[in-house]
Structure 1
């Protein structure tokens, strides 16, 4: 079990959430889930542009809005904090939440660097508050089906992993957003999107302990790596390869785990079935739709843990730190 779970607070009767950074990711993916889940509510939202915070609050029925993070972090009506800003400010707000003694849920990638991620884990552990990270695919039914099939031996002994993710870049450098800005994003698109696959593999197969990689920046206007190839090994002995490309016209999205008796594959970002090919020609193909709010299953585990009613959340600071490294 991850060390984060040793810092669980006394169970709450109800979890009142405050959001720092109510931007795009909170509109559908995450924000509504805090108010929909039993035992949970969204009390307040913050954005540096207070007018945008007010607009969000009015559209989503949130009682309170502010342009000052302290009015979330130090508020008596906020029990837990969700940090949904770009990666460059994750460490600052997580450390401040820990100092305020509040459980914190932070967007992925966890931080702009491994050193910042380590400081976040240490601060929350010292403060005795849990740290959760929004690698929400760990709780989505589609990817849980993959984990369950691997654990059940449907492909035999896992031996090899192959990742292939290619996403065309923006048509022009104008308005490309923070993911292409190294000072804000840290590792750029590879860290933002590629980390989802690495985190899932950690969940399915255990820690990666060896990595060899090459990277390049092909787009003249890009300040971050837009192409990475890697070979990696797991502590379990499984080996893997990955190709991530964000600089060409190709669109590809496959994750495959090969075993001694078959394979299981699923797309990471796009829609598609889970395909399990086992011994003696056995084949299972299942379409598993995502919920309307894709972070809701993971947030449900956080709420249940904070209420003392359920199993531990599968995505913590400790697990996300392995992905960050």
Structure 2
């Protein structure tokens, strides 16, 4: 079996537990090199995670002849810049979500990889998690009959960092117009397309209520899936408490779950109820990374590709604009 040597561009906080160890624990994968702008922090990461090589620049890592694949884990405004270099180097790539700050940038990235006939993945890992595979199985088994509507409400208090006016790229409109919507809501909207089929129409309203930063902090949206299922969502990042609830309404019942919390998945159908608890793995991208391996081995297609992630970016843009 071929061993794929991976390199990470931007070995920051998201790679500490969520993703980096997943590449190390997947058979046939090796985390061989890392890079970040602060070389000393990159060295510290490599020492703690036992990564053999540290590069001072992204270009060095991308062009390292011992590296087969690149995981881009930088803020989204640099994803396109690095992705195009990875495509030019003719290497496999996985990009953190959201794929890029704009749908047009996503298209440019996809075009570059398609021209080289290279695999491109995006870290919408919820498509691979067992808890959401269970939801998908209930839908496919017609547990709640014909699906009519999906509704999601997500809200949370303002972050202390934002209240103290400290800079945060996640709330800089130049990088993420929707602020935390781009970072968090993208997970759910991407999952809904996976569960219910592509979204063909979307609209919404986005404003800034708190004035804490330049990005939007209050968004409502509605959409239509290709299957005729309607959807609606509301996201607010300045409320008293955190709430995260998805409801899928069918002709014979309802499915209820959370996007981010490890809460039970609830099924109500024909007067009966069922509750299932499926814990997420410690390294939450583990199943996502294992599915990359299966894709490269031609065992099964990965559920989150450049094409599916670009579609999610299009949906978010429609809601925000």
Question: Equivalent residue for 1:9?
Answer: none
Write the mapping of 1:143-158 to structure 2, written as runs, cut at 5 A: 143-158=132-147
Match 1:234 to one of 225, 239, 258: 225
Q: List alignment gaps of at least 5 residues for structure 2.
A: 315-321
Match 1:112 to one of 101, 121, 124: 101
TM-score of the pair, normalised by structure 2: 0.95
SS at match of 1:184: coil
Query: What is the alpha-carbon distance in structure 1 between the residues aligned to residue 62 and residue 242 of structure 2?
Result: 41
Question: Equivalent residue for 2:190?
Answer: 199
Report if the CA contact (8 A) 1:274-1:286 is conserved. Answer: yes
| Of 315-324 and 185-194, the range deviating more from structure 2 | 185-194
C-alpha displacement at 1:303, in angstroms? 1.5
The CA RMSD measured in Å over matched residues stands at 1.1
SS at match of 1:183: coil
C-alpha displacement at 1:66, in angstroms? 1.5
SS at match of 2:106: helix
Match 2:256 to one of 262, 265, 286: 265
Query: What is the alpha-carbon distance in structure 2 between the residues aligned to residue 68 and residue 118 of structure 1?
Result: 26
Query: What is the alpha-carbon distance in structure 2 between the residues aligned to residue 186 and residue 303 of structure 1?
Result: 33
Report if the CA contact (8 A) 1:86-1:185 is conserved. Answer: no
Query: What is the alpha-carbon distance in structure 1 between the residues aligned to residue 60 and residue 296 of structure 2?
Result: 22
C-alpha displacement at 1:176, in angstroms? 5.3
Query: What is the alpha-carbon distance in structure 1 between the residues aligned to residue 177 and residue 209 of structure 2?
Result: 18
C-alpha displacement at 1:153, in angstroms? 0.5
Match 1:134 to one of 123, 126, 142: 123
Q: State the Cα deviation string for residues 157-187 of structure 1 (Å, max 9, x = none).
A: 1110010000111131433522111223343
Query: What is the alpha-carbon distance in structure 1 between the residues aligned to residue 301 and residue 88 of structure 2?
Result: 23
Write the mapping of 1:34-113 to structure 2, written as runs, cut at 5 A: 34-113=23-102
Change (3 A) 1:159 1:215: same
Question: Equivalent residue for 1:243?
Answer: 234
Query: What is the alpha-carbon distance in structure 2 between the residues aligned to residue 143 and residue 192 of structure 1?
Result: 19
TM-score of the pair, normalised by structure 1: 0.94
Question: Equivalent residue for 1:300?
Answer: 290
Question: Equivalent residue for 1:7?
Answer: none
Q: Does 1:274 align with 2:257?
A: no
Question: Equivalent residue for 2:304?
Answer: 315
Question: Equivalent residue for 1:215?
Answer: 206
Query: What is the alpha-carbon distance in structure 2 between the residues aligned to residue 93 and residue 145 of structure 1?
Result: 35
Question: Equivalent residue for 1:4?
Answer: none
Report if the CA contact (8 A) 1:81-1:102 is conserved. Answer: yes
Query: What is the alpha-carbon distance in structure 1 between the residues aligned to residue 103 and residue 178 of structure 2?
Result: 11
